[in-house]
Amino acid sequence: MSTQTSQDPQVAEVLRTYEPVVGLETHVELGTASKMFCGCATAFGAEPNTQICPVCLGLPGALPVPNEKAIESTIRIGLALHCSIAEHSRFSRKNYFYPDMPKNFQTSQYDDPLCADGYLDVQVDGESFRVDVERVHLEEDTGKTLHVGGSTGRIQGATHSLVDFNRAGIPLVEIVTKPIVGAGEKAPAVARAYVTELREICRALGVSDVRMEQGSLRCDVNLSLNKPGEPWGTRTETKNVNSLRSVEQAVRSEIVRQAPILDDGGRIVQETRHFHEDTGQTTPGRSKEEATDYRYFPEPDLLPMTPDPDWVRGLRDELPELPSARQARLQGEWGLSDKEMASLIGAGAMDLVIATIDAGAPQADARKWWTGELARRANENGIELAELAITPAQVAGVVALVQEGKINDKLARQVVEGVLAGEGEPEQVITDRGLAVVSDTAALGSAVDEAIAANPDVAEKIRGGKVQAVGALVGAVMKATRGQADAAAVKTLILDKLGVS
């Protein structure tokens, strides 16, 4: 996945002295119909505590049964990340207490993960970075605590808390990188590019909807600083970062925060931290546990897994075209330069452009809209492109209306504005806003006459053979008609009135 960076003076200044080491732990909720160890539904948005049973609540005597589809999905992710698949794997109990952990332990994998030792290559500013993957393991998600009564949704200032266990037990894949070193100033962008590519891989595999705004993909960002030649520093872990933009910002924020502490001879506290979307800053959470603090031991109620090698080979053979391969193929088919493809990928527009083409729009028009006007609007609102309130089919509809001559490019932008504002489909916006192109000669006649009368010198130049000067009169008519005139029809009418063929 290719992306482009913007220079950050603060980060650049810090990294004249320090080297960043980044580690990413990405959690992907699998899109299975039932939970990891029971038959409860996994649908998002159900009424609290309506998708629970004795197994996912950890009630005495309830025994887990592994979800085969979740195991298959985990192996598919591992294969896509060039991991080796374990001949033997097992679940363990990870013991810790949180209010949203009904069993007081999480069934996870510790020393025997399903997948290990993989990698993912990403591109930033045309430079390739290999991110090594340490492990891909399967576990169950926790419930969700809702803090009520405060203004931030966090426990600070809340009057009470509620716990929804619907999410408890949903299959969760954790993908852990090895330390990412040597990226320098591009470390924040490399982190974002990696999570972006990982999201696209999971989407291509069909194992998750990877909707970060719903928590089905979230990332923990580890960051430490050290001076060149010195041992790695103490790391912090910024938890549950839930947007691509925020992954990049969390890395930047910790780089800028940690450096002055080290400059003053201070000590970085090994802790978890919270990322704040509104400020782009992190704040302390709790001291960070080590693996020994979790008191891992093998899950006594589950047998070890021994994936059949033939089954694994079959899964490998059935992998779909992965995003990096698709990117290379489409770049060739569409005849795009590296810069054009980087712009497309950097905007997060690839799937949207493809869907717009599938809905009937030419490739160039689909790309123009998603990487131009729509990307600008997404940036202005601080959201991802896919979060805009317009679909690829609607964009294709706008393109078709331009091709049919019902609207021009200027009016098309107003139509898109109306769709984004919730005013309906493109045709409805045109009707309600009165945006249709005026091409009727009679309707345009008076505007043309006024333009000629107001610009006699231009009219005389046109009569004298300088036909290119007609653009000034066309512009005057377009201004008078608020951009709704058919420019081609206006030009023809002007030339006819001036007796120029």
CATH classification at residue 485: 1.10.10
Q: Do 226 and 258 touch, CB atoms closer than 8 A?
A: no
Q: Give the tokens for residue 58.
A: 């950890």
Question: Distance between CA atoms of 36 and 109, rounded to whole angstroms?
Answer: 13
Torsion on CA atoms 26, 322, 67, 308, rounded to nearest 10: -120
Q: Give the tokens for residue 159.
A: 């009057």
**Helices vs. strands in the chain: H and E counts, helices first:** 17, 15
Question: Distance between CA atoms of 312 and 87, rounded to whole angstroms?
Answer: 10
> Among 433, 464, 484, which residue terminates a domain?
433
Q: Are residues 422 and 448 in the same domain?
A: no
Q: Do 217 and 29 touch, CB atoms closer than 8 A?
A: yes
Q: Give the tokens for residue 78.
A: 């591992």
User: Whose structure tokens read 């974002």?
Assistant: 192
Q: Are residues 127 and 248 in the same domain?
A: yes
Residue 68 falls inside a structural domain? yes
Domain that holds residue 377: 347-433
Angle of CA points 6, 10, 16, to nearest 5°: 100
Q: Do 148 and 160 touch, CB atoms closer than 8 A?
A: yes
Q: Are residues 20 and 61 in the same domain?
A: yes
pLDDT at 137: 97
Q: Are residues 465 and 382 in the same domain?
A: no
Residue 322 falls inside a structural domain? no
pLDDT at 33: 96
> Among 433, 463, 487, which residue terminates a domain?
433
Residue 323 falls inside a structural domain? no
Q: Are residues 411 and 473 in the same domain?
A: no
Question: Distance between CA atoms of 209 and 257, rounded to whole angstroms?
Answer: 34
Q: Are residues 258 and 389 in the same domain?
A: no
Residue 463 falls inside a structural domain? yes
Residue 204 falls inside a structural domain? yes
pLDDT at 1: 46
Name which of 380, 381, 373 is nearest 413 in CA terms. Answer: 373
3-state secondary structure of 485: strand
The dihedrals phi and psi of 2, each to the nearest 5 degrees, come to: -105, 140
Residue 9 falls inside a structural domain? yes
Name which of 327, 395, 411, 319 is nearest 357 in CA terms. Answer: 395
pLDDT at 501: 62
Helix (H) or strand (E) holding 237: strand 236-241
Q: Are residues 309 and 215 in the same domain?
A: yes
Q: In sequence order, which residues have a C-beta less than 8 Å from that of residue 275 and are 6 or more positions away?
A: 221, 238, 239, 240, 241, 246, 249, 250, 253, 281, 282
pTM for this entry: 0.77
pLDDT at 291: 62
Q: Are residues 390 and 276 in the same domain?
A: no
Give the start-end residues of each E strand in 18-126.
19-29, 84-85, 92-95, 105-108, 115-124
Q: Are residues 134 and 64 in the same domain?
A: yes
Question: Distance between CA atoms of 202 and 191, rounded to whole angstroms?
Answer: 17
Angle of CA points 28, 6, 269, to nearest 5°: 60
Number of domains in the chain: 3
> Among 433, 467, 484, which residue terminates a domain?
433
Question: Distance between CA atoms of 325 and 319, rounded to whole angstroms?
Answer: 12
Question: Distance between CA atoms of 396 and 373, rounded to whole angstroms?
Answer: 14
Q: How many CA atoms lie within 13 A of 122 on its CB side?
A: 30
Q: Are residues 193 and 297 in the same domain?
A: yes
Q: What is the mean pLDDT of each run of 10 residues along the chain (501 residues)?
A: 62 91 97 96 93 93 95 97 96 87 90 96 88 97 87 75 93 97 93 93 92 88 95 93 92 95 94 88 77 84 95 96 90 90 82 94 94 91 87 95 83 90 90 68 65 76 75 73 67 70 62
What amino acid is encoded at 402 in this protein? V
Residue 338 falls inside a structural domain? no
Q: Give the tokens for residue 491.
A: 């030009």
pLDDT at 298: 92
Q: Are residues 262 and 405 in the same domain?
A: no
Q: Are residues 83 and 182 in the same domain?
A: yes
Q: Give the tokens for residue 319.
A: 């992998």
Residue 325 falls inside a structural domain? no
